Amino acid sequence: MLAAPRFAPFLSILLGALLAQTFGRPQIGAWSVVILAAWISLLWADAQTATAMRAKRGALLGFSLGLGWFTGGLWWLYISMAVYGGMAPPVAGGALLLFSAYLAVYPALAGALAAAWAPPAERHAWTFGPALGAALVLAGGWTVAEWLRGTVLTGFPWLALGYAQVGNPLSGYAPVIGQYGVNFAAALTAALLALLTQVSLRGALASLGLLIALTVGGWQLQHLRWTQPVGPALRVALLQGNIAQSEKFRPDALGPTLQLYGDWLRSLKANLIVTPETAVPVLPEDLDPGYLRTIERALREHHTAALLGIPLTRGAAQYTNSVLGLGGSAPYRYDKAHLVPFGEFVPDGFAWFVKLMDMPLGSFARGGLDQPPFVVQGVKVAPNICYEDLFGAQMAQRFRTPANAPNVFANLTNLGWFGNTVVIPQHLEIARMRSLEFQIPGIRATNTGATAIINAHGQVTAELAPSTVGVLTGTVQGHAGLTPFAWMAARYGDWPDVLLAALAVLFGWALRRPQRGGAHHQRPTV
């Protein structure tokens, strides 16, 4: 019988830490599949016949993987808590570990299911039917667990496996079945890779054939165009102020900040100027009455429109993290719809945690998911703020009304809370996935990076160096039309992907049959 090594949980943590390094680095994103395949091989190296014992071990390995994965990929959260949140370093470190442990619960669930429903490891090769069933159960369970991670308690799908695939052929599935569908394809690819060491030569050839089909299918889908260019190409100017987070909300730093962005907005000539999130960090009523008027006047003189990040109010005591549209034919306002827990609202029961920090503007009201776009020369530009672009199905709600369907996404972000770290390319990778899903371009104006232009095929065509002060100028061609994912997600959210994953689990379970002894091919023990 195969031995289950006692050091497997520690090896699983190491694999999770390696997996984390593939995010924000599209040139090595495909290695995420190889690393996951190594973990699956470890998961399947269990000779116990008792389902409960295999599930217990699978949960442990899934949790260990998640602990290395999320601690290794989200360590930059420590900066926001300890440096800018005023939290004592040991408490901030503990909070990071607790949050990573919570996120690790989801791969633990996937690991428990995949291990429980896989055949026991033997000296004999698995027959291909149960082996394929094990692969389908793993891919489906993994995808459902990832969807839960991106949904429960408002969700946190950062580092979802699909995002690491934006630079390889599996990204071709994005406009058809979205990020969670890419997630499923990547997990299934990893499981099929792991099967190569579990099955006979004939089974290995079958697994290899399915791997080739998955890869070629994604590559072919990359060449399908579901949207078409529409309207004139817009000349854009994307502003990156690089305002230090420690200075952003200080009263004595407000003057230089307002002057920097005010000068840009009054002097630049483009069809559309976009500022970062809360580029103006105070309410309009706290500004000099002439500040916004002079900007509006200059924009109209230059026949320029602008999207300005600024906090606003709604009613007597409700703040919103918002975008003002200036220079357009009508007043425009967008209010952030998906708020950041602890940063922009306090989840029930966690007021004690927020008291440990000292962050301004910590309680906001939500906007709607289907707010209209800002129209610039007939091109519909849909703003979104910060990590709203992690939620593809929510962004799809803006396509429900054809007259309001966006032609360009505009993301306004401030990642200054997290320093010049891997969070910047990680977020850019997420924005690329949204352009792949909807096949419309994206423009990003950020405080510290990544300020960039992304075309309708998810490719970065221009980018400013992070942590620099500058203006990125270029052109963006709007696109119109609906990808299959946009059509489905606008009506049914993520449920089609969840159904796909659930059906894979059920089909995999149906393929699971008891292993027969004696007729199997020998394979070496590990």
Cα(416)–Cα(469) distance, integer angstroms: 13
| Structural element, H or E, at residue 167 | none
Cα(258)–Cα(247) distance, integer angstroms: 13
CB atoms within 10 A of CB 260: 16
Q: Which of 122, 380, 386, 463 is catalytic?
A: 386
Q: Which stretches within 286-339 are classed as H helix? A: 289-301
Q: How many helices (H) and strands (E) does the chain have?
A: 16, 14
Tokens in use for 400? Answer: 């429900």
Q: How far is CA 286 from CA 282, 331, 333, in A?
A: 6, 20, 18
Question: What pairs with residue 133 in β-bridges?
Answer: none
Contacts of 312 (CB under 8 A, 6+ apart): 283, 284, 319, 320, 322, 324, 333, 335
Cα(499)–Cα(497) distance, integer angstroms: 5
Q: Which amino acid is residue 368, in one-letter code? A: G
Is 380 an active-site residue? no
| Structural element, H or E, at residue 147 | helix 128-149
Picking from 384, 391, 375, 372, the residue whose alpha carbon sits closest to that of residue 413 is: 384
Cα(92)–Cα(83) distance, integer angstroms: 9
Q: Is 507 exposed, middle or buried (0-12, 13-18, 19+ CB in 10 A)?
A: middle
DSSP state of 84: I
DSSP string covering 218-253: HHHHTT----EE-SPPEEEEEEE----HHHHT-HHH
Torsion of CA 407, 235, 431, 231, to 10 degrees: 20
Q: Which of 122, 146, 248, 277 is catalytic?
A: 277
Q: Which amino acid is residue 345, in one-letter code? A: F
Tokens in use for 169? Answer: 């052929």
Cα(186)–Cα(183) distance, integer angstroms: 5
Picking from 401, 502, 393, the residue whose alpha carbon sits closest to that of residue 150 is: 393
Is 429 an active-site residue? no
Cα(232)–Cα(234) distance, integer angstroms: 6
Q: Within 13 Å, how many C-alpha atoms sit on residue 507's CB side? A: 11
Is 277 an active-site residue? yes
Cα(437)–Cα(294) distance, integer angstroms: 39
- Dihedrals φ, ψ of 433, to 5°? -60, -40
Q: Which amino acid is residue 208, in one-letter code? A: L
Tokens in use for 380? Answer: 């519909």
Give the chain's length: 526
Tokens in use for 100? Answer: 């990573």
Q: Which of 122, 248, 296, 336 is catalytic?
A: 336
Cα(370)–Cα(192) distance, integer angstroms: 40
> Which residues form the catalytic set?
277, 336, 386
